[in-house]
Chain A
Amino acid sequence: MSKASPSLLVHGYEVVIGFETHTQLATRSKIFSRAATAFGAEPNTQASAVDLALPGTLPVMNREAVACAIRLGLAVGAHIAERSVFARKNYFYPDLPKGYQISQYEIPVVQGGAVSFYLGDEKKTVRLVRAHLEEDAGKSLHEDFIGQSGIDLNRAGTPLLEIVTEPDIRSSAEAVAYAKELHKIVTWIGICDGNMQEGSFRCDANVSVRKPGAPLGTRREIKNLNSFKFMQQAIDYEVRWQIEQIEDGHAIEQATVLFDPDTGETRAMRTKEDAADYRYFPDPDLPPLVVSRDWVAEVKAAMPELPRAMAERFVQQYALPEYDATTLTQSPAMAAYFEAAAQASGQAKMASNWVMGEVSRRLNNEEKGIADVPVSAAQLAALLQRIADGTVSNNAAKQVMDALWTGEGAEVDAVIETKGLKQVSDSGAIEKIIDEVMAANADMVAQFRAGKDKAFNALVGQAMKASKGKANPQQVNELLRQKLG
């Protein structure tokens, strides 16, 4: 990814982006205490003595959080450190109860690895530097307290895995594709609920620009990008702003910036001069984190097939296009639904079309997820088989689907029967219809014979209409062509 593709240049500048993503781990309790981690509880009701940093309290590592880090490490092909170290990042802030954050600094638990994804037809790979465990801070509430701030420590001590990339990303589109792929991975392996609105998946983008071949430019860090839409807008704005600055002869100053969705602009929160000295040192309350090879093997044994591997398998096994494979592996539930329907019907491509098309469309209309799909994979497979063997046309199949979806019918053949959707494949009956259509539309026949190909389709349409949509369109085509011969 280090070579700039000319097409990606913006006004002659290459965009360089690195990501830091804070994923909130879906553990039941906090990273160093036994308090619960549920979102949205009354302020300060989910903070234990440890989270409040009461005198005499000590942190104890939550092994569930470590297992999450191991899963991520395995999912991105990283090295899982046998020994990693927790450090203290010291700074004062009212929502940081201990006056320091416990975070892995010099030796993180996950080292290296990479995330691959498709941008259009092009496969991209973003290398990871590391992923480290740390605790979240509480929240400062500045509203509703006139002249004062409220502190909610429910979130304090919530486990986070911060995933850091190399500066391998070259455009806002790539950035969003990377973030979506990472989001898919962490939700797929079950370590994060992926809820961006609640802050479970927060991205910081380090953005700089440079002339191709020049050394890295000075970066500005856009903090807390909590939607894919804002991510793209924020990076695009930031890139434009930086290029303008440089073109106007200004140097970029290292800074942390926030994106304001209302104005569509980024603005600096603090510059490097304000950067705190965090006085990192190994936390003497926590011995080094030791992850045995046995533990890694245990976690590995329980790992699901990963989305990228599954997509590649779908391409191989079901001869699907890459696009289909990627789309179907958005979630484990959707992939499983597709695969069950494909196997039961023996019609993989058709199953893919239906899952991505009819099924997804209906789910979207009803704002439902695949988990709530009312038509089982077995029902879909039965329907696909009826399309394949010519019992119903594709259009009639959609009507069958309607009945299955609403629960009007449950059994595919019964629905076809009841609704009279069976396709007419009796050539005698079809010939009769064609003869009648040709007789009634002599002008069209004449037009076709005079070389107007369009008239053929009109005749097919008439024949289908006359059969009330039941005639096998393929047969109609063939017989009509013979007769017009």
Chain B
Amino acid sequence: MSLVQRISYVIDLILDYFRSKIGGFIVEIGLIVLFMTSSVRALFVKPYRYNEMVRHMEFVGNQSIGIICLTGLFTGMALSLQIYLGFKMFNAVNMVGPVVALGISRELGPVLTGLIVAARAGGAMAARLGTMRVNEQIDALDVMGVNTKQYLIAPRIAAAVICMPLLTAVFDFVSMVGSYLLCVKLVQIDEAVFWQKIRDMIEIRHINEGLFKAAIFGLVFSVVCTYRGFNTTGGAKGVGDATNQGVVQSMVMIIILDYFASNLIRLFYLVMGMN
């Protein structure tokens, strides 16, 4: 085999590898979208699963409040400290409050809440459904004539989409409490100036922007994690793999989607003639 033939052979191998990977990726995305549409559609078909939805909201929302408050408080304080140290060099410490408020409400609030809840509730969703799959509990529901997507998936997705903006609002609020404690109580920025600057610069749409993103992140992590759990194969190892894949893919997608969502919102503001 000549050198050219060898190189050609290696290039073919590489191209085949990427073709199969990209093809597989596209097929996977298609399957996840189909899974999501059929599950969301099932939400609006009788019998409505209010009880299940409330049960999952309690798990996704209520049981996440503690960890959201803890991380929110320290995120607000850490961010405020770093911005304070930077702004102090330019004698602009009065701007710490609004910059932290903007950063938290638009970006860090929804993204960190998304990552924390995806890890906590998304992981639990994938593990629970995966265990139900390998223990034949999902098959049992199927043969009982229960629509498994309606009973197991749709309430989890609805709960995540509803709870994520609420948790993000809690995160935003607690972060600002942290920022207040650091700025006003620790580094002695004037309290009236701190609040006035925030009032001057923050509009309700900045907060809504973050809450909108949070709902999208809720949809993403709940769909990815339930899809992974629902399609688990291979016993205990399969459950572990499904949980791992669900959480990792959700986190990566939240971070990537955040960038695109931010740009889309910016574009929307431009079209609407807002800054």
Answer whether A and B are interacting partners.
no
Which B residues lie at the A interface, using CB under 8 A? none
